[in-house]
Amino acid sequence: MAILPIITYPNSILEKKTKKISDPKATEIKQLILGMLETLKNSGGVGLAAPQIGNSLRLSIIQIDGKTHILINPKFKYKSWKKIVIEEGCLSFPGVFFPVKRHSKVTIENLNKDGSKKIIKAEGLFAQALQHEIDHLDGILFISRKVKTKKS
């Protein structure tokens, strides 16, 4: 599977809400996941959402702490009241980094590659990545969550 070109901002597909995947076991979904994994690995980034490679589907991948998480139709079950501000970047905004406010803990419901349901609990950087990726699937970009800092 070849490395796919990553769509950069501005592009309307990045701000469009994605469609749910009806069959996670479909061959084209498996192929898409393989392509995304290779593309993310090559990019050096933490996460990649399907719209970033031109597919408006509810699919995203995260590679963090040596683990790969494939998010198929993910949705939030819990978001902590407590929020944290951390520096964030996005493969669709090369070289752009700024602080973003995120929930410090989240729980999501996700589908496994075989279509079974899975609950993922996360905190810290993993929780941040999950929120960034699910935002992508809702057509929300991190620039809209930028924390306004006082000018010194």
Using CB under 5 A as the criterion, which residues of the chain lie in contact with Co ion when the complex forms? 90
Q: Which residue is nearest to Co ion (CB)?
A: 90
**Shortest spacing between CB 139 and Co ion, in angstroms:** 12
Q: Taking the complex as a whole, how short is the minimal distance between the CB of residue 34 and Co ion, in angstroms?
A: 20
Please count the other Cβ atoms lying within 10 Å of the Cβ belonging to residue 90: 25
Nearer to Co ion, 33 or 90 (CB): 90
Question: In the complex, what is the shortest distance from the CB of residue 78 to Co ion, in angstroms, rounded to a whole number?
Answer: 22
Q: Can you say how many angstroms the Cα of residue 141 is from the centroid of all Cα atoms in its chain? A: 10
**Cα–Cα dist 103/132, whole Å:** 11
DSSP assignment letter at 132: H
CA distance 12 to 87: 25
CA dist 82 to 69, 101, 125, 126, 129, Å? 24, 10, 14, 15, 16
Which residue, 21 or 90, has its beta carbon nearer to Co ion? 90
Instruction: Specify the residue, 84 or 140, whose C-beta has the smaller distance to Co ion.
Output: 140
- For the question of residue 28 being annotated catalytic, the response is no
Q: 38 or 93, CB closer to Co ion?
A: 93
Shortest CB 151 distance to Co ion, Å = 27
Of residues 8, 48, 45, the one with CA closest to residue 32: 48
Token representation of residue 147: 């924390």
Q: Of these residues, 87, 88, 109, 133, which one is catalytic?
A: 133
- Provide the annotated active-site residues: 133
